[in-house]
Amino acid sequence: MRRRGGDGVKEAFFYGGQAVIEGVMMRGRRGLAIGVRRPDGSIIVHEQGLVPWSQRFPILRRPLIRGAAALAEALVLGVRALNFSAAQATDGQEEPLTAKELAVSLAMAAVLTVGLFVVLPAFLIRLIQDAIAHNVVLNLVEGVIKIALFALYILAIGRMPDVARVFQYHGAEHKAINCYEAGLPLTVDNVARQSIVHTRCGTNFILIVLFMSVFLFSFFGRPPFLVRVAIHLLLLPVVAGLSYEIIRHAARDDALALVRWIATPGLWMQRLTTRPPERDQLEVAIKALERVLVRDGVLELEASGAAAAAEAAYVRQTG
């Protein structure tokens, strides 16, 4: 691979992705690629074209709205990527989920998220609110409860071997993107030297969402339990939109000091959701990132035996 010169994509674009089962999904301007390590040791890369929702519906490009839309789109693509990776990582022993099963999985995940991070904190606040006089302090306590629940949840699932592997691939994804954004060739050695954390990580986004919800909810006093839950749910798109704008700004070189400060706890929390990856995991992340960069015209394939061998394990789906 080599990076293209002046004829490449000029407009700034933030590449990103997520860890999947035994692999990494990378998303580019024109498509996405899912790299998965199969049981026989080979790497299979599934690539498909992608037309973002914001291109189909221009209203979704507007500030605040684009944050909630980006979050919803990322959830849908993420579940599909996990579905593909599960089938490949088990050599077909796991059947891909149907559209109905995917919808049920998303619904169950939404119920779990609301129950753990909205309903439970609101219930706990109900038990102690009479002992706290100031509404701002009350909401700060609720924010601390949410962050503690999130940290405990991550610590608990991180003890599972399969999840620990996903966290390693999460680290591999960050390292590969950091290497690309540093302007270095995407070699295993270069990628291995990069940081395991990244400003635009979803973990960072979640922490900012929690902080932002504390700030916005402070304007609503201390409503009854069910009303409190309902307001939190109604405010979620607004909170997601504001958090998205903050995390985008924090990724810029000229970001305000205040914004960087707000994003800092999320960088700390990434130590829980990432693990140092192995070299073979870095290879998977590199393959996936290379594919989206080639599709975007940022990198060119070089004619070599290694490139030809890589094509043998490459699956392409035009979209």
Work out the percent of the chain whose per-residue pLDDT is above 90: 28
Work out the percent of the chain whose per-residue pLDDT is above 70: 86
pLDDT of residue 71: 79
Confidence class for position 294, pLDDT limits 50, 70, 90: very high
Q: For the chain, give the mean pLDDT.
A: 82
Q: What are phi and psi of 46, to 5 degrees?
A: -100, 125
Confidence class for position 303, pLDDT limits 50, 70, 90: very low
pLDDT digits (tens, 9 = 90+) for 267-282: 788 888 999 999 999 9
Confidence class for position 305, pLDDT limits 50, 70, 90: very low
Angle, helices 257-273 vs 135-157, to 10°: value is 30
- How many C-beta atoms lie closer than 10 Å to residue 101's C-beta? 12
Side-chain half-sphere CA neighbours of 95 within 13 A: 4
Q: What gap in Å lies between CA 140 and CA 136, rounded to an integer?
A: 6
The residue assigned the tokens 């205040």 is: 258
Q: What gap in Å lies between CA 245 and CA 49, rounded to an integer?
A: 26
Query: What CA–CA distances, in Å, run from 86 to 22, 52, 93, 177, 312?
Result: 8, 24, 9, 23, 21
Confidence class for position 219, pLDDT limits 50, 70, 90: confident
pLDDT of residue 76: 83
pLDDT of residue 309: 38
Best CA proximity match to 35, nearest among 319, 314, 317, 318: 314
Ranges 50-59, 66-75, 86-95, 292-301: which has the least confidence: 86-95
Assess whether pLDDT exceeds 80 at residue 30.
Answer: yes
Report residue 25 as tokens: 């999904």
pLDDT of residue 279: 95
User: What is the arithmetic mean of pLDDT over 255-263?
Assistant: 72
Q: What gap in Å lies between CA 52 and CA 30, rounded to an integer?
A: 8
Residues present in the chain in total: 319
The residue assigned the tokens 């219930």 is: 123
Confidence class for position 109, pLDDT limits 50, 70, 90: confident
pLDDT digits (tens, 9 = 90+) for 221-231: 788 889 988 98
Assess whether pLDDT exceeds 80 at residue 192.
Answer: yes
Q: How would DSSP label each residue in 66-113?
A: HHHHHHHHHHHHHHHHHHHHHHHHTTT-SPPPPHHHHHHHHHHHHHHH
Side-chain half-sphere CA neighbours of 84 within 13 A: 23
pLDDT digits (tens, 9 = 90+) for 194-217: 999 888 888 888 888 887 887 888
8 A C-beta contact, residue 37 and residue 89: yes
8 A C-beta contact, residue 292 and residue 315: no
Which of 21-25, 63-67, 248-252, 310-314 has the highest mean predicted lDDT (pLDDT)? 21-25
User: What is the arithmetic mean of pLDDT over 93-110?
Assistant: 73
pLDDT of residue 10: 44
